[in-house]
Chains A and B, each alone.
Chain A
Amino acid sequence: MIRNIFAVALLCLGSAAFATPAPMGVDATAPVDKELGLRLPDGFKATVFADDIGSIRHIIVAENGWLYGALMRPKGGMGAVALRDHDGDGIAEERIFFAKGLRGTGIGIYDGYLYYGTDVSILRWKLPISGEPKTEPELIAYGFAEKRQHAAKSFTFDGKGGLYVNVGAPSNACMTRMRTKGSPGMDPCPILEEFGGIWKFDARKPNQQQNIDGIRYATGIRNAMAIDWNPHADSLYIIPHGRDQLGELFPELFSPAESAELPAEEFHRVAEGADMGWPYSYYDHRKGERMVMPEYGGDGETVSDKGQKPLIAFPGHWAPNDLLFLRTKVLPESYRNGAFIGFHGSWNRAPLPQQGYRVAFVPMDAEGNVTGDWITFADGFAGLDVIISPRDAKHRPMGLAEDKDGALYVSSLMSGGRVWKIIYEGK
């Protein structure tokens, strides 16, 4: 009898070790902490790490605990902020603004340097021992054309000297006349020569010009704000912003409800030379197919052979603005190989309510395969149950980061700018 119980216990242990249960995500019936402005799964706890820091975009935490954030609009003339929690209470009591005269989105650390993406260049500073960089920035990559739409430069590193820069397309769907009813798509789309892809550079080499020194690593990408190198599977992953306004530009093909839901936001593993299909196709997650874009003759029903299928898809217009794979082993095992995705939230689902304002998690294995459906890891940012107009949202997730102790950070540029710190206290 005792031996039998022991065997059953062993069996249970065995299956638990092999089949890691998928994380549960937030309890949708639990209240949102209004003061904190977010809701997390059981076992996680958050603090407001910093408030009133300006238009904060992507964030990164150095080994020494300093958090660096790029600012989309300068604050006091400065384009970046450095934050430090010295006493370990989860609140940064020191803040230093730096990067005079700059404005940017991408930020990252590689090989002892702090990298920064303006809309037209990638710069780096020698990483200081503490606080803000003390040297003049060094130009790493330049020659990105100055554009308004999708101009922000997000980037990541492969850990082997490669720097991967998102060069967003200054366009919705490569229409001949921008966002104009009845205007056909340019075929071939000339925008893809210079934009709409990921360009690879040498992370250590100064003064590289996009069209001379940069390699177009992948194409067919409208704008991949959310980009990260998956260190477990050793591969690039992105989740680009899908196109806008199917219903407004093609009211005869897409109802308001379809236009709210389509196209899907697509999560991709990106090998060198990969094509994600923009502007020729989009992904319909309800059909599980890539469809011909209406600017290129599509009617909402015709399947396209252009572009690779995503690993997993999300409802339309959620605006994925950052992607994070964990480097530490602090969170429960079920989180360690998966992807955290920061969704800024939609503006393009009207007349239906806006959606997306959350951090989602996609469970994955060490080989980089998706192993289950996505969950909501954090929500409540908007401070409202129903969001009709995006400006009514108190906060909208933007950047994601992890520190060396396994704490997560989420930024929002709304309501003066905020960063939350999230720690795991469960067992």
Chain B
Amino acid sequence: MKVSKALAALTVFVGTSAYANEPAPTGEALYGANCSSCHQADGGGVPMLQPELIEKPRANGPKGGVIDMILFGSASIAVSESDYGNEMPSFAQLTDLEIAMIATYVRTHFENNGGPVTSDDVKSRRPK
């Protein structure tokens, strides 16, 4: 218990200090580092391989849709039901804040109007 609390505190500390001497990354920068090689900088995706994110129902729907895709990847979509050849990995290793910033970026760009999400929204969807 004590150890895990200490670890959590350490994680928060490391998480903060990593950005201490540089401006906090933007949603766009995080999208660029983690998402754009597959979904492309313009959100256009790659035909048959990776979905486009433009005017995407998932990015205009309930807050959990994009968050869950980032947290858990596309594994829950059956092979036979997928139109895309590549499988999206889980990005659960990112912090709640980073995931929230990416989800917000996707939900407010690429002609999507789903609106922002918060770190708490992400936290609430992580497996307990």
Q: Which residues of A contact B (CB under 8 A)?
A: 55, 72-73, 146-152, 170, 177-182, 244-245, 247-248, 251, 347-348, 350-351, 388-392, 413-414
Contact = CB atoms under 8 A, between A and B. Distances in A.
B90 interface: yes
A244 B37 contact: yes
B46 A390 contact: yes
Main secondary structure of the interface of A (DSSP, over half): loop
B40 A390 contact: yes
Given A148-B85, A413-B48, A248 B42 contact: no
Given A177-B89, A179-B89, A390-B46, A147 B40 contact: no
B26 interface: no
Contacts of B86: 148-149
A318 B85 CA distance: 17
Interface string B76-97: 0001101111110111010000
B41 interface: yes
A350 B36 contact: yes
Contacts, number: 71
Given A148-B86, A148-B87, A248 B79 contact: no
Interface in B88-118: 89-91, 93
A391 B93 contact: no
Interface residues of B, number: 29
Contact of A389 (B44, B80, B91): B44
A347 B46 contact: yes
Contact of A148 (B33, B41, B82): B82
Main secondary structure of the interface of B (DSSP, over half): loop
Contacts of A251: 33
A151 B84 CA distance: 11
Closest 3 A/B residue pairs (Cβ) = A347-B46, A389-B44, A178-B89
B49 interface: yes
Among B45, B84, B86, B90, max chain A CB count under 10 A is at B86
B47 interface: yes
Given A177-B89, A350-B41, 12 more contacts: A146-B79, A148-B86, A151-B79, A152-B85, A248-B37, A251-B33, A347-B38, A347-B46, A350-B37, A388-B41, A389-B42, A390-B40
Contacts of B80: 146
Given A149-B87, A181-B93, A350 B48 contact: no
Contacts of A391: 40, 44-47, 52
Given A147-B79, A148-B82, A151-B85, A389 B41 contact: yes
B20 to A, nearest CB: 19
Contacts of A414: 47
A351 B28 CA distance: 14
A186 to B, nearest CB: 15
A348 B86 CA distance: 13
A254 B34 CA distance: 15
6 contacts: A148-B86, A149-B87, A244-B37, A347-B50, A389-B42, A391-B46
Interface string B35-67: 011101110111111101000000000000000
A415 to B, nearest CB: 10
